Structure 1
Amino acid sequence: MRYSQNKDESVALLRQVLALAAPHDAPLNPMSFAVFYEHAAGINPRLSAALEEALKASPRLDDAVLVRLYAAHVAEVGIDQAQRIQGDMQRVMTDIVQSAARTGEAAGAFGNRLADLSGALSAESSPDLAQQVQSARVSTQAMRDSVQTLQQQVSASQREIDGLRADLLRTREEAILCPLTRVLNRRGFDQKLQDMLHTPPPNGTQHCLIMLDIDHFKRVNDTHGHQLGDRVLEGLGAVLRSVPDEPDMTCARYGGEEFAVLLPASSLSKALQVAETLRSRTRGIRLRNRGTQTVEMTVTVSAGVAAWRPGDDAASLLSSADAALYRAKSAGRDRVIAA
Structure 2
Amino acid sequence: MRYQDSIARSAEYLRTALPMMSRQRAALHPVSYAVWYEFVSGSNPALAQALQELTQGNRPLDETQTWELYRSHIAELDTESATRLGEGLGNVLGQIAHSAELAEDQTQTFGRSLGRWNEQLRSAAPGQHTQVLAELMAGTQDMQSTMKALRARLHASQSEIEHLRHEVERTRGEVLLDALTGLANRRAFEQRLNECAQSEHAGSPVAPCLLLSDIDGFRQLNERYGLDFGDQVLRSVARVLQRCAQSHHVVARVGGEEFALLMPEAGLHEALMLAEQLREGMASTGIATDAQGPARVTLSLGVTQLGQGEAPSAFLARADLALQASKRGGRNRVTVLSAQESLSA
Q: TM-score range by the shorter chain?
A: 0.5 to 0.7
Q: 1:5 to 1:135 in 2, by over 3 A?
A: farther
Aligned to 2:66: none
**Post-superposition shift, 1:204?**
4.0
Q: Say whether the 8 Å CA contact 1:304–1:324 is kept in structure 2.
A: yes
Q: Say whether the 8 Å CA contact 2:75–2:175 is kept in structure 1.
A: no
3-state SS in 2 of match to 1:206: coil
Distance 1:149 1:195 in 2: 46
Q: Say whether the 8 Å CA contact 2:209–2:268 is kept in structure 1.
A: yes
**Post-superposition shift, 1:181?**
0.9
Distance 2:154 2:138 in 1: 24
Q: Say whether the 8 Å CA contact 2:304–2:322 is kept in structure 1.
A: yes
**Post-superposition shift, 1:156?**
0.9
Aligned to 2:64: none
1:289-328 alignment runs, 5 A limit: 289-290=289-290, 294-328=292-326
The structure that has the greater radius of gyration is 1
Distance 2:201 2:247 in 1: 16
**Post-superposition shift, 1:275?**
0.8
Deviations 1:124-176 (A, max 9, x none): 97332210111110111111011101101110110111011011011111101
Aligned to 2:228: 227
Aligned to 1:144: 144
Q: Structure 1: state its 5+ residue gaps.
A: 7-33, 35-75, 115-120
Distance 2:215 2:279 in 1: 10
Aligned to 2:46: none
Q: Say whether the 8 Å CA contact 1:306–1:321 is kept in structure 2.
A: yes
Scaled by the length of structure 2, the TM-score of the pair is 0.63
Aligned to 2:212: 211
1:1-339 alignment runs, 5 A limit: 4=18, 126-201=126-201, 204-243=205-244, 246-290=246-290, 294-339=292-337
Q: 1:259 to 1:79 in 2, by over 3 A?
A: closer
Distance 1:211 1:204 in 2: 20
Distance 1:126 1:200 in 2: 82
Aligned to 2:340: none
Aligned to 1:13: none
Distance 2:125 2:75 in 1: 66
Q: Say whether the 8 Å CA contact 2:279–2:332 is kept in structure 1.
A: yes
Q: Say whether the 8 Å CA contact 1:79–1:168 is kept in structure 2.
A: no
Number of equivalenced pairs: 246
**Post-superposition shift, 1:284?**
3.1
Q: 1:209 to 1:254 in 2, by over 3 A?
A: same
Aligned to 2:63: none
Residue 127 of structure 2 aligns to which amino acid in structure 1?
Answer: P
Deviations 1:234-287 (A, max 9, x none): 11111111125x222101111110111111121110111111111111123322
Scaled by the length of structure 1, the TM-score of the pair is 0.64
Distance 2:167 2:268 in 1: 39
Deviations 1:162-202 (A, max 9, x none): 01101101111110100111111111111010011122217
Instruction: Out of 307-316 and 265-274, give the one that drifted further.
Output: 307-316
Q: Give me the CA root mean square deviation.
A: 3.7
User: How many percent of aligned residue pairs carry the same amino acid?
Assistant: 31
3-state SS in 1 of match to 2:18: coil
Q: Say whether the 8 Å CA contact 2:176–2:184 is kept in structure 1.
A: yes
Residue 295 of structure 1 aligns to which amino acid in structure 2?
Answer: G
Distance 2:19 2:209 in 1: 45
Distance 2:258 2:223 in 1: 17
Distance 1:286 1:319 in 2: 31
Distance 1:225 1:133 in 2: 87
Residue 270 of structure 2 aligns to which amino acid in structure 1?
Answer: K
Q: Structure 2: state its 5+ residue gaps.
A: 1-13, 21-28, 30-69, 338-345
**Post-superposition shift, 1:214?**
0.3
